[in-house]
Structure 1
Amino acid sequence: MTDVFSRISVDPLDSSTVDEFVWSSESGAVVAFQGIVRNHDDGRGVVSLDYRAHPEADRFLRECCDEVAARTGLRVAAEHRVGSLTIGDLALIAAVAAPHRAEAFAACAELVELIKSRVPIWKRQHFDDGVSEWVGL
């Protein structure tokens, strides 16, 4: 059985998918991160987002998960949504299971930072004043 799950999806995300994947009877802690579409950014009202992914984004996401799993020996999972999202939608879910909470927290934080820095997924924000802009390009 593999210790890594990763997926990019156009469908709404369900946090139970990654939580159930990482959990095992050896786990004393499951730490999960949920990135949620919020209604503001830098003082401006946001009404929705569009996420677009590079054709090989799946590979990059898998590599991030593999790297954290290989370094820590822990079970790791991540799922990122693409397409049109509205306020309150889940955009990213990452989870790590470990025997103890400290290592689970550290590994999950590392995983999220790797995903944000390495996975080629771009976000376009639509503001309440009718303007939209790409973030991080």
Structure 2
Amino acid sequence: MTTTLTSRVKPRDEDSFTISFAPLSLEEIYTKSDDPANGALVLMSGMVRNQTDGKPVVALEYQAYEPMALQIFYQIAADIRLSTSDVNRVAIHHRIGRLQVGEISVLVAVGCPHRSEAFEACQYAIDTLKHNAPIWKKEHWEDGSSRWVSIGACEQLAENCS
């Protein structure tokens, strides 16, 4: 699958895309991805881990350029449907703000009639989100230091603007 961002991709009514300060819910994204035609529903949960490259992490802080990030989420779903016509539901929810170790930062779920397509589509969705969505995270370490880490397209945007 390749991403070709169009200027005005509209989401399908049955899909769900959110950027939120509120905690993300596994039950909610599962429900939003469920469909009677599904034979498989693959859900990926990204969480704040307690270390990065062996350095103890106490929290992550996420920021997003929300209008563009949501447009990327819509495009991801459109691209999935172009390559796999029988996808029933796509849900992408990302959290922003300060998150503690163990909290969920991103949920991606895809419902399809068959498991192989659901796995492939879910992996495509998270990989493309991490590469293309304008979402930044700040790592806060146990020693009190921190640093912003740009994700995917954010690095490209910064390079093009300098």
Matching residue's letter, 1:33: M
Q: Do the aligned residues in 1 keep the contact of 2:19 with 2:66 (CA within 8 Å)?
A: no
Q: Do the aligned residues in 2 keep the contact of 1:29 with 1:99 (CA within 8 Å)?
A: yes
What does residue 64 of structure 2 align with?
Answer: 53
**What 5-or-longer segments of structure 1 have no aligned partner?**
none
What SS is found at the alignment partner of 1:122? strand
Q: Which has the higher contact order (CA 8 A, sep 6+)?
A: 1
Whether 1:33 and 2:47 are equivalent positions in the alignment is: no
The TM-score with structure 2 as length reference comes to 0.79
Whether 1:115 and 2:129 are equivalent positions in the alignment is: yes
What SS is found at the alignment partner of 1:111? helix
Could you report, residue by residue, the CA deviation over 1:45-69 in whole angstroms, capped at 9, with x for unpaired residues? 0000100011422222222223223
List structure 1 runs of 4+ shifted beyond 3 angstroms: none
The TM-score with structure 1 as length reference comes to 0.93
Could you report, residue by residue, the CA deviation over 1:17-49 in whole angstroms, capped at 9, with x for unpaired residues? 221112111111110000000000011000001
Matching residue's letter, 1:91: S
Q: Do the aligned residues in 2 keep the contact of 1:6 with 1:65 (CA within 8 Å)?
A: no
Indicate the larger mover: 104-113 or 63-72. Answer: 63-72
What SS is found at the alignment partner of 1:130? coil
**What 5-or-longer segments of structure 2 have no aligned partner?**
1-11, 156-162
1:1-137 equivalences under 5 Å are: 2-56=13-67, 57-73=69-85, 74=87, 75-136=89-150, 137=155
